[in-house]
Amino acid sequence: DADVTQTPRNRITKTGKRIMLECSQTKGHDRMYWYRQDPGLGLRLIYYSFDVKDINKGEISDGYSVSRQAQAKFSLSLESAIPNQTALYFCATSDFGGLDTGELFFGEGSRLTVL
């Protein structure tokens, strides 16, 4: 099984619908992140969490919300999806202070299409 698991892997929805992307990890890391990938723009940070009680906005948080339900779970919600939120979404974890400090461990991505 993957260390960082995202569901769903692919989703097509309509404008105005509420969507939740879920992420769970078995790496035991405190730090979790949601990134969005668009062609020509690379990966941009939406939200990040350094522990269950710590949630922070990234550079493109408008239109999104998150919930850190447990150390291992971090979900991303689109309350009312719009077409320009069509993108590939990645969840990632990191272990700051450990041997792999700074490195992100990624899930397999969730491709979201908003019609």
| C-alpha distances in Å from residue 17, one per residue of 11, 14, 48 | 12, 6, 24
114 binds other proteins (CB under 8 A): no
Residue 39 CA to residue 37 CA, distance in Å, equals 7
Using CB under 8 A, pick the residue from 19, 81, 104, 112 that binds other proteins: 104
Find out whether the peptide bond into 39 is cis, omega within 30 degrees of 0: no
Q: 95 with 27: CB under 8 angstroms? A: yes
Minimum separation from the CB atom of position 1 to other proteins (A): 15
x-marked contacts with other proteins along 70-99 as a string, rule CB under 8 A: ------------------x-x-x-x-x---
6 binds other proteins (CB under 8 A): no
Q: Which of residues 26-65 bind other proteins (CB under 8 A)?
A: 31, 33, 35, 40-45, 48, 50, 58
Q: 108 with 114: CB under 8 angstroms? A: no
- Secondary structure class of 62 (helix, strand, coil): coil
Q: Which residues bind other proteins (CB under 8 A)?
A: 31, 33, 35, 40-45, 48, 50, 58, 88, 90, 92, 94, 96, 101-104, 106, 108-109, 111
